[in-house]
Structures are given as structure tokens and as C-alpha cells.
Structure 1
Amino acid sequence: MPDSDNHRTAPSTNRIRSSSPVVMITGASSGIGRATAHRFARDGARLVLCARGRVDLHAVAAECTDLGAEEVSVQPVDVSHRDEVDHVVHEMIDRYDGLDICVHSAAVMSYGAFLDTPADVFDATVGVDLLGAANVARSTLTVFRRQRSGHLIIIGSLLGRIATPWMSSYVTSKWGLRGLTRVLRQEARRYPGVSVSSVAPGAVRTPIYERAATYIGRAG
């Protein structure tokens, strides 16, 4: 299981529970996730930063501490692995006695015609971008339903509404993610104090384009 690294001392059991919100952010090591972490840090939130890369997470954690976050915890995790997501959420609940907001922005990308993209690459993209979102939603909404409060924010994409060639795995994932989010929003109406939101940005300045696998001989 992944272990965690904390950039502030954990609160003791005798400490009065802080009024600062506990915010979990996936994909926090770069791009939209990193920008989201910065935004909540400026508000003095207690942050749980999740991504696969420990080194980049620590860099973002240091930035958030400098920006005013009350506390920052680093949690290396692959969202496509359900047991890792469950472990992180359970550990966070033990530490903070609750979760207020989860922003799910973890994503990967690949370029190439559908027939030229290896099946395992296609499957891996869908595994992170769609099934990973389902893993995060399942774990966090279970907590929100139990505590009768919480807000899940899922970062989708403009490509969940339109299609473009040479990005079949990403487009498939984001169209599926849009459908999943709409269902979650409908079902969350039964849970007092729980809400689900989606954000569908267009292109932003993020390393995902350069880091993507490519089978067209160039980056997107």
C-alpha cells in the first residue's frame, strides 16, 4: 500500500478539530490539480495531495505550505487501483475525522489512430481516466453519505462533449466520465448535504500533452 508524507505535524487527539476544510485532490502533481491545490492553500485548507509521482507531489506540497495551507499531506496513489484509493481515503478519515471536498483531476492521455494504439495503452488510459474516477467517487461518496455532507468535483473535459481523431482512448473515457457524473449527480440528491459537480475545461497549460504516449510521431 502507498504510504504518506506530511508537511505539518498531525493534530493530536486532544486538539480541537480545525474549522479549515479537508480537501482531497487527485492529480495534484501538475496541471489543473496543482492549480486547484494552490487555490485551496490560499484559503488555509488542510490538503491531501494525491498522484503517482512522489517527487512532484512534494514540490507542490511545499508550494501549498508557502501559500498558507494549514496542513498538507502527500499520498502517492494510482487511482486505477481501487485498493490504493480505499487505503488513502480510510487513512485520511482516521487522520482528519472527515472529508469536506474531493476534487478528482487525475488523468492520462495517448495519441494515435485507434487501430495503431496498442490495446494495453487504450485500456490503461480508460483505467485511469474513467475507472479511476469511479474508484475515487465510490470511496469518497461512501464517506459523504455516512457523514451527511461533502462535495465531489470531477474534472472532465470538452472532449467529453465532442470527438476528435487520434485520441480515441481519451475521448471514450471523457464521454463515459460525463455520463457517470450525471448519474452521480442524480443519485446524490437522495443524500442530504452531498453534492456532485463536473467541470469540462478546454485546453489548458499542463504537462499532460508532452507526457502522453504517442503513435503519430509527435505530441498533441
Structure 2
Amino acid sequence: MKELNRETVAVITGASSGIGRATALALAGKGVRLSLLARSHDSLAEVSKLATEAGSADVHTSVCDVADEAMVQSAIRSTIEKYGRLDILINSAGLSLNGEVDGYALEDWRTVIETNLTGTFLTCREALPVMKRQSGGQIINISSGAGKNGIRNMAAYCASKFGVVGFSEALGLEVRGHNIRVSVLLPGSVATDFTRVANRQAQQPANSSPIDIGYSMTAGEVASVIVAMLEQPEQAWMSEVILRPLNLEMRRESKE
């Protein structure tokens, strides 16, 4: 099994909230050195403090919009300069601006695609050279149940998340010979502020998806699966993981 420890270095995008935040804290509990990327300085400072308290050997933060090429380059390079290596990249940054295609603004389309898909491309591109030099690394790109199933009023988001799946599959084939594993995780409904806002915009029930109405996972539960993916046997490659809520108690925000 691959061991996560105080020598391991992980970059996490979207680290200030939701799945990214929960994953940062889960890896901190393993002692992992963290490089946390997000757009909010104050939220990053809060997560950094919590990660240190949880046991991370060191925490580095970068204010970064993953759709901005120069900011991504700076964030990844500063991580490598500080730690000398990069073992794990987790792409959790994402957003959704929802509405019917008829009348949907091109600016909103570009914002969603550039954050969710282009941002994933940019961070992977910057991380790959050091992973190749190390002859190893692991990338986990967070897609969504919307990367397999279309959802009304969420065409841009679905397109971006379908794109993350295809990108991850292609990249995985490119780099497997360098001992780099690329995985894509497709979680179903997760009880986060992102999900509640996105579903409200798309006129879906809060914390739900078309195939899991009324059921949801917590961000911490998803983070636990991410840790398990990182600890898979050295010669195993979990290329795609579809994660859905069982959640019989239906932990759902009511009346939202």
C-alpha cells in the first residue's frame, strides 16, 4: 500500500471549502505536507490553521484562480521550490452558473468551462514535469455525477464535468508509463454550500441529483474515499470511481 506520511506533498485546489477543505483536513491527519490553493485568502488562512492543528507537517497556501494560467504556474512552482517535490494533485476547484441554454450568457459559459475544465488542465500540466522527474505521482480530478448524467438547466456544468472525465482518461493513458496514476472521482450529491446553491439555481431539490433524490453524502465522507484512493496498492490504478450516497437517514437540508 502507498503510505501517506510527513514526507508526502499534496496540492489541493478549491481547498477553502467543501470537498477540497475536507480532503485537506483528512490528509493533514496523516501528516501530509499541504499546498492549498483557493481564491479566498481569509478562508485559506482558516483551513491552514485547522490543518496544522490536525497534524500536517507543513502548510503552504496560494491565493489562486485556477482559470488563470499565470496564477496556477506561480502556485505550483512555489510549492516545488518549497518542498522539492510533488506527490499528489487533487483538483477540487469548481463552480456552476445555471440556467436554460436559451438565453445563457457566453461569459457564464466560459467562466464555468475555464474553472472546471481548463483549470484542471492547467494544474495537471504544471504538475506533470516534476512527477515525471520523480518517476511517480498521483492525480485525482473531481468530476461529478453530472459528468455521467445530464441535468436540466446545468448544461455548462455538465459539459465541464463530462470533459473532466474524458481529459482524465486520456491523460491517464499518456502518463501511466511514468508511474503516474490519474484518477477521476464522480461523487453524487454532497451536502455542501456549492450543491445547495447550484440546485437552487437549477431548480432541483437541495442536496440532490436526478438519480439520488433526497440523499446526500458529507464532504468528509468523500474525503475518506479520496484518502483510500491515494492509499491503493502501488500497481493498482483506480482510474474512475463513481461514488453515490446510500444515506438511508436522508440527511438533507429541509425546505431549502
TM-score, L = length of structure 1: 0.86
Of 61, 65, 72, 1:85 maps to: 72
Instruction: Note the alpha carbon deviations across 1:140-191, whole angstroms, 9 max, x for none.
Output: 1122112211111111111111101100110000011110000011111221
Please tell me whether the aligned partners of residues 28 and 56 of structure 2 are also in contact (alpha carbons under 8 angstroms): yes
Please tell me whether the aligned partners of residues 189 and 195 of structure 2 are also in contact (alpha carbons under 8 angstroms): no
Aligned equivalent of 1:141? 128
Of 37, 55, 66, 2:42 maps to: 55
- 2:142 and 2:163 map into 1 onto residues whose CA distance is 13
Instruction: Note the alpha carbon deviations across 1:27-52, whole angstroms, 9 max, x for none.
Output: 00000001100110000111111011
Structure 1 residue 204 and structure 2 residue 194: aligned?
no
Greater mean deviation of Cα atoms: 138-147 or 50-59:
138-147
- 1:219 and 1:49 map into 2 onto residues whose CA distance is 31
Aligned equivalent of 1:11? none
Structure 1 residue 116 and structure 2 residue 103: aligned?
yes
Root-mean-square deviation (CA, aligned residues, Å) is: 2.0
How many Å apart are 1:205 and its aligned residue? 1.5
Structure 1 pair 22–138 and aligned structure 2 pair: CA distance change class (3 A): same
Structure 1 residue 69 and structure 2 residue 74: aligned?
no
Structure 1 residue 195 and structure 2 residue 181: aligned?
yes
- 1:135 and 1:78 map into 2 onto residues whose CA distance is 11
Aligned equivalent of 2:173? 186
Q: Residue 158 of structure 2 aligns to a residue in which SS?
A: helix
Of 146, 164, 167, 1:177 maps to: 164
- 1:219 and 1:51 map into 2 onto residues whose CA distance is 28
How many Å apart are 1:77 and its aligned residue? 0.3
Structure 1 unaligned blocks of 5 or more: 1-17
How many Å apart are 1:211 and its aligned residue? 5.1
Please tell me whether the aligned partners of residues 160 and 176 of structure 1 are also in contact (alpha carbons under 8 angstroms): yes
TM-score, L = length of structure 2: 0.74
Which residue identity does 1:148 align to in structure 2? S
Structure 1 pair 126–214 and aligned structure 2 pair: CA distance change class (3 A): farther
Aligned equivalent of 2:237? none
Count of equivalent residues: 202
Q: Residue 16 of structure 2 aligns to a residue in which SS?
A: coil
Please tell me whether the aligned partners of residues 45 and 69 of structure 1 are also in contact (alpha carbons under 8 angstroms): yes
How many Å apart are 1:109 and its aligned residue? 0.6
Q: Which runs of 4+ in 1 moved over 2 A?
A: 209-220
- 1:218 and 1:160 map into 2 onto residues whose CA distance is 17
Aligned equivalent of 1:28? 15
Which residue identity does 2:70 align to in structure 1? D
